[in-house]
Amino acid sequence: MTFLYTAYSITMAILFGYIFYLGSKQTKVIKEIESLKELYK
Amino acid sequence: MSFFKNEEELGLNLNTRTTLVNHIVYGIAFAMILVSAYLIFIYSNIEKTMGAVQKIFYVHVGTAWNALLAFGVVFVCSILYLATKKRIYDVYATVAAEIGVVFIIIVMLTGPIWARSAWNVWWSWEPKLTSALILFFIYIAYTMIRFMDGSWDKKARLCAVFGIIGFIDVPIVYFASEWWGSKFHPTVVGQEGGGLEGNMVFALVFTVFAFSFFLTALIHKGVRIEKARIELQHMKDKIAEKIGR
């Protein structure tokens, strides 16, 4: 069972880690776009 | 206020925020992953020879199938990009390759864990595993091209050619067991199969679909972010042009 739990945990950690990576990338880009738009209104 | 004129030409949608559709798609994807966890851990039977560790199979096959699917998207979008020169196809290929690499990393990690517990070996240089490892390196190289210096269209052209040639390895990985035989990858589903009971097949099919839905959700989100990143770059270029004048 330990091997099964390890494999499943690794899978979920990578998938959810990737979602968090995408989320932080999106936030960073949106913040930069909005600050530029604000600056050049 | 729009900073660049050719957004229609690029086929870009400047709405970068997460929408209700995004939330619904993610909600369904998460729900499907939860149901697949129930099917894997509780619903499906425990295999007699290997025991509970055989259940790694569902995650391993589910992610492997979707890695190949993602590389298929890269292949199709690469052809479309070379044929039409529309940047949107390059955006889809970029995102699909990155997600495909994430899935293949999972495959390369769960495979040895399963092999170690079931057959007492971490790795074997049999055709299926070797071709899968080559596939992993091909798409790592593809992703690295994206970080090279140079204009986007040159990189897009290079990546499109790489994406088409690299895809040759996908059917090799898929059919390797059939063509050359395999100790660790017997045929269990299909006409020659028969190693899986009904509830195991259901758990496998559902898990593959759950990961496919997850893949779709990730591609959707990744494309939106990539579009936003391109918009940002255009804005910066426009501003630099104005300041320079």
Q: Do B225 and A32 touch (CB under 8 A)?
A: no
Q: Cα–chain-centroid distance for residue A40?
A: 29
- Cβ separation of B232 and A29 shorter than 8 Å? yes
Q: Say if CB B19 and CB B217 are below 8 A apart.
A: no
Can you tell me the ipTM of this complex? 0.90
The lowest-confidence range among B86-90, B107-111, B210-214, B228-232 is B228-232
DSSP run (H or E) holding B104: helix B87-119
Per the CB < 8 Å rule, is A26 touching B225?
Answer: yes
CA torsion sign, B33 to B39 to B42 to B45? negative
Which of B4, B102, B108, B213 is the best substitution to test chain A (most A C-beta atoms within 10 A)?
A: B102
User: Which of A18, A30, A37 is facing B1, going by the closest CB pair?
Assistant: A37
Confidence at residue B192, expressed as pLDDT on a 0 to 100 scale: 55
pLDDT band, residue A15 (cuts 50/70/90): very high
CA distance B126 to B186: 13
Residue-wise pLDDT tens digits, B37-54 = 999 999 888 887 788 888
* pLDDT attached to residue A40: 67
CA-based nearest residue to B185, from B101, B100, B119? B119
> Which residue intervals of A1-41 are DSSP H helices?
2-39
B179-233: pLDDT as tens digits:
777 776 665 555 555 567 788 899 999 999 999 999 999 998 899 899 888 888 8
